[in-house]
Structure 1
Amino acid sequence: MQTLPQTQPVKKYIPLSFFVIFLGYLVFGLSENIKGPAIPQMQIDYGIDELQVGFLLAINSIGFLIACSFTGAFSSKAGIKLTSLLAFGMMALSGVFIYYSSNFAVFSVSYFIMYLGNGMLEIALAILAARIFTKNTGFMMNLSHFFYGLSSTAAPLMAAGLMGVTFFEGRELGWQGMYLLMLSLCIIPMIPAFFSTLPVDKTTSHERLPIKMFLKDRVAWFIIIILSFGVILELSIAGWLVNFLERSFQWSSTAASGMLSIFFLCFMVGRLLLGFVTDKIGFMISIIVFSGLAGITTILATLFGPSGVWLYAAAGFGIAPVYPTVMALIAKRYPTGLDAAITVTVTVMGIVVVISNLFLGALIEFFKRWFTSLLGAEMGLMRGFQAGFIFIGVCGVLCSVFSIILYRYLKKRNEVL
């Protein structure tokens, strides 16, 4: 497999390009994780059940998926700079659309637009980071994703706080106004992106790894499976935990949002500290250990009930390094096919996340109705959510299991990274 000549970025664009990456992950984390406190209020305002929430998250994942499918090719032609600017701009504009959404259908379209921007930003930041972080890749990838964890930690509490803010004759800002304010922050990273000279792809068309060759690589499919299970665990806890705590255990919105923030605090600390560990013990061993930890603690937290809720925080610590470590693995294994590898991996992962969102919503609704007929509405709702969170934990365990299989395969071929 050919390797791309390692060329150091020109000094003039290092500071601003770092700002683009770090600020980009900050606003990415905000946009992804303010939904936790907002979803219960969305359900009240629009009169939707858990299955419809799962449908909403699945539709949004489709928007993310569509963006991922074309962003790599678009950035190769138009440049990573324009791609980044469009992603930030689309996310900021979606906040306006969400604010003026008068019904669930219009809101779904507005949210879909936000996830188009999210998908473009996901690919743009991954490509940009892989081009710049050519040394200490595991640590630098985890450091950049630390900023995602930082904003994700603050996002639930900020969202819950802003939703209760009153203005003009005592009117509350509400969840729609909160989205408008939070997504308007996407304008900030547009400034360094506009003035920076971001690195371009130096790989010639002859050197570049074709997508067909990438898809024929067995390792590529293992990477996709591993990343998919890891992301399902991360995003599902972020999307459902507040709803679970509020409706099953009667926690207040502030307390439930605080618990989600603790999850992301551990998530943030994990990405800050475990990057060193990743470079020391290797990419594959890191994924095996930490995804297994995340899966097991999620299952235990669910089985223990209210007394075990704190274990969700441990799950945040465990799942934190999985995504950036997989990105580092891709960057090292496919240096001449980086854009294609990231695009295909994240796109297929997006398909799996769409399916999992639908399945998770349907699973919760199924067990809720089943146990309601046996134990009553209150207990049925709790059991429905618990079934969903056990599924989430199993995804973490499967991430570890497939990582073990891949590790053994790579070890036999002397290709362990």
Structure 2
Amino acid sequence: MRNNPLQKRTLTLNHLLLLLVVFGGFLIFGFSENIKGPAIPRMQADFSLDEGQLGVLLALNSLGYLVACSFTSALSKRIGIKWTGIAAFASMTLAGVLIYAAKSYLFLSASYFLMYIGNGMLEIGLAIMAARIFTKNTGTMMNLAHFFYGLSSIVAPLIAASMMGWHLSGGGELGWRGMYLIMLSLAVLPILPSLRGKFPEERHEAAEHVSYRELLRDPIAWLIVAILSFGVVSELAVGSWLVNFLEKAYGWSMGDASGMLSAFFLFFTLARLFLGPVTDRIGYTLSVMIFAAFSGLCSLAAVLIGENGAILFAVAGAGIAPIYPTIMAMITKRYPKGTDTAITFTVTLMGIASVIGNLLIGYVIDFVRGQFEGRGSAKGQILGLQAGYEFIALLALLCSGCCLVLYMLLRRRGEVV
């Protein structure tokens, strides 16, 4: 019976369905995260928001993400990872409807909050699914799964910018509200293979050797949190602020600025496609240290050179891309008998860092701009935006520095991964 061809075929079909959910989930995740770049300037204009209020909006989004991280692992143990993923996709679809209906800053913030609850549930859920499915060549497969996030991220800004200009039969434009409604409705699609697929359950629950209390006392766990936090905040900040920066600092059109964001995600996606085997070969810790330093230096150089160096904003994507999936692979190797717990611990604390990071970026821009108000508002705005992006570059460099500390600590113990 164990070699029954029908059973093998069923298992193969189930594995294909699980891959469709994971890869499709990352596609949807990429769309939901990165269509906001072209939309944010329009939201800002519609609701007359300053950069500080934008920072608060993005921080509230991160708070929704954090709330989701705090309960998703427990939810998956209660109702199963299958239904947890379905709930995440459904909440994202509902958020699209509410964003479409938003008529005030408060309503928009609440709708975004719900969307990021869905995003947080999805990220934890996908990480748990991937950890259970990809038991061999983990670094390569994690990067391949996250490649689909980058793939949708490449086209997301261009699609969003194009869709907002679509003319409706009534004579108006689709706008950012209609664009969000359509794009988030795509979250319904991965629900279909989810309903059919059979998801693996955690195998180490009965003999789990890692608890939250142990992780809280583990300096390596905290270094992993710091590395992931600095890297991810730097990564996500590009999707939130690059289009805004290029439009206001250099006077680029929405199409050109969105094109540069798409170029960032092109480098980002290619890095995840081709650098996964490199991480398995040279080690996860060393890989993240090198890639994060490269990204930070590219972003810093882009700001210092000015408009002629704008392409370096895109090149930086090649360095920042492998950080998240490689850290997820590191966690599965470091904590093989408590991966779900370790992932939840790490990503939840990363969510806290995202709240703080988004607030800081917005207020760094406002603070620096305020120091130069007497010298002309245009110059103050440019200097503020430059300071904000320099802060984004600094986060990537801090990610690399923390990884160096982790590498030295693990090497001293003979436990480098």
Give the shorter-chain TM-score range: over 0.9
The percent identity for this pair of structures is 52
114-123 vs 12-21, which moves further: 12-21
Name the CA distance, whole Å, in 2 between partners of 1:208 and 1:278: 26
For 1:77 and 1:261, the matched residues in 2 are separated by 39
Whether the 8 Å CA contact 2:81–2:125 is kept in 1: the answer is yes
For residues 380 and 372 of structure 1, the distance between their equivalents in structure 2, rounded to whole angstroms, comes to: 6
Shift of 1:379: 1.1
What SS does the corresponding residue of 1:401 show, helix, strand or coil? helix
Shift of 1:362: 0.6
Q: Quick one: distance in 1 between partners of 2:403 and 2:384?
A: 29
Q: Deviations over 1:303-338 (max 9, x none)?
A: 111011100111101001000000000011111111
Work out the CA distance in 2 between the residues paired with 1:220 and 1:10: 35
**Deviation, structure 1 residue 17:** 0.4
- Residue in structure 2 matched with residue 5 of structure 1 by the alignment: none
Matched, 1:203 2:201: no
C-alpha separation in 1, matches of 2:364 and 2:209: 43
Given residue 121 of structure 2, which amino acid in structure 1 is its aligned partner?
A: M
CA contact (8 A) 2:331 2:343 kept: yes
RMSD of aligned Cα (Å): 1.2
- Output the amino acid matched with 2:96: G
1:412 equivalent in structure 2: 412
Partner of 2:359: 358
In structure 2, do the counterparts of structure 1 residues 10 and 216 end up closer, same or farther at CA, with 3 Å as the change threshold? farther
**CA distance in 1 between partners of 2:372 and 2:60 (Å):** 28
SS of the equivalent of 2:397 reads helix
Q: Residue 3 of structure 2 aligns with which residue?
A: none
Query: In 2, distance between residues paired with 1:204 and 1:34?
Result: 38
SS in 1 for 2:69: helix
Alignment partner, residue 378 of structure 1: 378
2:210 is paired with a residue whose SS is: coil
1:169 to partner: Cα distance: 2.4
For the pair 1:272 / 2:273, whether they are aligned, the reply is: yes
Provide the C-alpha distance between the structure 1 equivalents of 2:74 and 2:383, rounded to a whole number of angstroms.
Answer: 45
Aligned match of 1:141: 142
**Offset of residue 248 of structure 1:** 1.3
1:125-204 correspondence runs (5 A): 125-204=126-205
Contact 2:205-2:338 at 8 Å conserved across structures: no
CA distance in 2, matches of 1:142, 1:189: 20
Name the TM-score, length of structure 1 as normaliser.
Answer: 0.97
Cα pair 2:207 2:337 within 8 Å, conserved: no
Distance across 2 between alignment mates of 1:204 and 1:346: 19
Partner residue in 2 for 1:403 = 403
| Structure 1: segments with no counterpart, 5+ residues | 1-7
Kept in 1, the 8 Å contact 2:303–2:386? The answer is: yes
Give yes or no for contact 2:38–2:258 (8 Å, CA) kept in 1. yes
Q: What is the TM-score when the length of structure 2 is the normalising length?
A: 0.97
**What amino acid does structure 2 have at the position aligned with 1:396?**
A
Query: Which 4+ runs in 1 deviate beyond 6 A?
Result: none
- Which consecutive unaligned segments of at least 5 residues does structure 2 have? 1-7
- Structure 2 distance, partners of 1:391, 1:407, is 24
User: Using the alignment, how far apart are the partners of 1:38 and 1:360 within structure 2?
Assistant: 18
Q: Name the structure 2 match of 1:332.
A: 333
Q: Distance in 2 between matches of 1:38 and 1:105?
A: 17
2: CA distance, partners of 1:400 / 1:300: 17
**AA aligned opposite 1:124:** G
Letter in 1 for 2:170: E
1:143: how far off? Answer: 0.2
- The residue type paired with residue 283 of structure 1 is Y
2:103 counterpart SS class: coil
- Mapped to 1, the partners of 2:381 and 2:306 lie a distance apart of 13
Residue identity in the other structure for 2:341: A
Secondary structure at the counterpart of residue 172 of structure 1 = coil
Deviation at 1:10? 4.8
Maintained 8 Å contact 2:267/2:315: yes
Aligned-partner Cα distance in 2 for 1:268–1:206: 37
- 1:372 to partner: Cα distance: 2.5
Following superposition, the deviation at residue 12 of structure 1 comes to: 4.6
Q: Are positions 1:93 and 2:94 aligned together?
A: yes
Residue 26 (structure 1) aligned with residue 46 (structure 2): no
> Which deviations, in whole Å up to 9, do the C-alpha atoms of 1:360-394 show, x marking residues without a partner?
101101111212322x1111111000000111101
State the shift of 1:208 in Å.
4.5
* Secondary structure in structure 1 of the residue aligned to 2:208: coil
Post-superposition CA distance 1:259-300 (Å, at most 9, x none):
000000100001001101111111011101100000011111
- Aligned-partner Cα distance in 1 for 2:84–2:217: 28
Q: Distance in 2 between matches of 1:389 and 1:44?
A: 21
Match of 2:387 in 1: 387
